[in-house]
Amino acid sequence: MVAKKTIEKGLKSIVGEERVSTDPADNAAYSSDVMTWLLAEGMSDYLVAPSNVEETQEVVRLANKYKIPVTVVTYGTNVAGLAIARKGGIMLVMKRLNRILEINEDTQTATIEPGVTHGKLERACYGKSVIPMHIIGSPVGSAMAIPFFGQHAFNGRHRCDRIVGIEMVLANGELIRTGSFAAPGCETLNPYNRYGAGPDLAALNYGNWAFGVFTKAIIRLFPRQEVTEYMLFAFSQLEPALRAMLKIEKRDITLGTNLTTKCYFARITAPDPEMLSKPEEMKKLRSVLPEFILQTYIAGTPEQVALYRKLIEKDVSEYGGAELHLEGRKKAKADSQAWSTGMACNRQFQYPITMSPCWCTIPVALRMNDLVKELFKKHDIRDPVTGEPAEIDFWCGSCERCVQIFFNQSVPWDPLKPDTIEKARACWLDFIIHSVGEGNAIPLFGSQAPEYVRIVNEIKKTIDPNNVFKGIISFEF
């Protein structure tokens, strides 16, 4: 067993005295997020903040030499339990790698380091013909692990193509690139082709940091349009709302379309944040909303937007929906969250909830909705504000060529009442166990067929034989 002081000294020799901390108070700041009540906290032994690729490689080499676990984080705005050091070891904080290396308007790409925030990238695009894709609540770098969220991303044709190429440090310190970014000569002249020879290595880290740490990424940007418009529609029933959403998305005319329940929508559009803790105020706000709210985003020339609006209104009408008009501060809050700006977009986490994700077709989505109702009743899940039985509360959008639906179902709990935490945990686990067998295509490692799990484990053994990198996936070999 190597002495902790020896490892600390080695780390400080790489990144500098001030960029390493073994102080529990510093490490504690990275020990939890909104999901750790369910997935457990974890405390790193060393907090390390490299400033460039070379330092990152050296830190990883040291970790591999001494078989020290490595967990990767940027700013710590985590909401899914991925960046928690449950095995101890090194917390590799990548926020100092925060350069925007290129914004290429011709290829509509940005080459960035993992510490680049959405705000920084958006500011860099001011005055240019391109705009970034937004992901609520995450730095761009963190979102590389989950590449398909945001108002643009859920437009089905964009789902998996947001990342064009990555540069990644493997467990032995080796630096690899993907797609044409890996081809000699192309790394500077033409790194903009995602698919090179062989497997798509850019997808290795999706959903976790278990194969390495990326130090650069080439990501897609989108053309800036003359006019943008945000539209809301009301539905009383779930199935027609889902069918309208998918039909609109299949037209390929939006930046994205999603569907929420009135509970979710009320939470993120309440004119005053204090309303969120007042039962009567929340009941009043929900009472004037329809059961389901369809949100869609369109952009283009004035003529294009006018045409898109007519087509969308036609689709909504066909499925029994009607346009929803908001006024005053409600409209301002809705507009704010719609374009992923301001604090309104983060109100989905305003009071403690966990997400029960689901990838599904319409029949499966309807079954999942019924399953959640059954489980809420079984586990006595209650609204932490009103104390009454919790209503169904979700956000969903289209994905996978607009034939799949991604559901994020909220399960509420009260941090001051331990019994509600246990009930929410049991409900969440119950949902995962039952839903996978009923058509939920959630990318939960271990829920796949044994041969799939075996192949992925073999890849992990080859790339990281000492099992240094720790993600939400648990590799045991």
Q: Which long-range contacts (CB under 8 A, 24 or more apart) does 86-89 make?
A: 86/40, 86/41, 86/42, 86/470, 87/42, 87/470, 88/42, 88/43, 88/44, 88/45, 89/44, 89/45, 89/46, 89/63, 89/470
Going by the DSSP 8-state scheme, the letter that residue 389 receives in this structure is B
Q: Is the dihedral of CA 173, 174, 175, 176 positive or negative?
A: negative
**More confident call, 441 vs 183:** 183
CA dist 389 and 280 (Å) reads 15
| Nearest by Cα to 171 from 61, 44, 53, 48 | 61
Least confident of 56-65, 164-173, 241-250, 264-273: 264-273
Using the predicted structure, report yes or no on whether residue 282 has a pLDDT greater than 80: yes
User: What pLDDT, on the 0 to 100 scale, is given for residue 395?
Assistant: 85
Q: pLDDT (tens digit, 9 = 90+) per residue, 378-404?
A: 999 998 888 899 988 888 888 766 777
332 to each of 20, 23, 42, 393, how far by Cα in Å? 43, 43, 39, 22
CA dist 84 and 31 (Å) reads 6
Q: pLDDT (tens digit, 9 = 90+) per residue, 114-155?
A: 888 888 898 999 999 998 876 544 555 555 544 444 334 444
Q: Which long-range contacts (CB under 8 A, 24 or more apart) does 20-28 make?
A: 20/46, 20/47, 20/48, 20/49, 21/46, 21/47, 22/46, 22/47, 23/47, 27/85, 27/91
Using the predicted structure, report yes or no on whether residue 157 has a pLDDT greater than 60: no
**More confident call, 188 vs 162:** 188
What is the mean predicted confidence (pLDDT) over 2-22? 93
| CB neighbour burial string for 3-40, b if at least 16 within 10 angstroms, e if fewer | eeeebbebbbebbeeebbbeeeeebeebbbbbbebbbe
Using the predicted structure, report yes or no on whether residue 354 has a pLDDT greater than 70: no
- What kind and span of H or E run contains 93? strand 90-93
User: What pLDDT, on the 0 to 100 scale, is given for residue 385?
Assistant: 82
CB atoms within 10 A of CB 165: 26
User: What pLDDT, on the 0 to 100 scale, is given for residue 151?
Assistant: 37
| Nearest by Cα to 77 from 25, 121, 135, 124 | 135
Output the six-digit token pair for 195. 């698919």
Output the six-digit token pair for 378. 């079984």
| 420: phi then psi, degrees, rounded to nearest 5 | -70, -30
What is the mean predicted confidence (pLDDT) over 36-47? 76
**Residues 134, 339 contacting (CB under 8 angstroms):** yes
- What kind and span of H or E run contains 8? helix 4-15
Which residue segments constitute the domains of the chain, with CATH numbers given?
A: 100-223 (3.30.465.10), 228-436 (3.40.462.10)
422 to each of 80, 276, 402, how far by Cα in Å? 18, 23, 36
Least confident of 12-16, 109-113, 469-473: 469-473
CA dist 132 and 63 (Å) reads 34
3-state SS assignment for residue 320: coil
User: What pLDDT, on the 0 to 100 scale, is given for residue 338?
Assistant: 55
Residue 160's pLDDT band (boundaries 50, 70, 90)? very low
| Nearest by Cα to 27 from 95, 91, 72 | 91
Q: pLDDT (tens digit, 9 = 90+) per residue, 400-441?
A: 667 778 888 888 888 788 888 889 889 988 988 888 778 887
Residue 113's pLDDT band (boundaries 50, 70, 90)? very high
pTM of the model: 0.85
Helices (H) and strands (E) counted in the chain, each on its own, are 15, 18
| Mean pLDDT over the full length of the chain | 82
Measured between its terminal Cα atoms, the distance across the chain in Å is 20
What is the mean predicted confidence (pLDDT) over 178-200? 85
Using the predicted structure, report yes or no on whether residue 299 has a pLDDT greater than 50: yes
Q: Kindly report the CA angle at 363 between 310 and 154, in degrees rounded to 5?
A: 50
Output the six-digit token pair for 287. 């009472």
DSSP characters over 169-215: E-TTS-EEE-GGGGSTTHHHH-------SSS-GGGTTTTS-SS-EEE
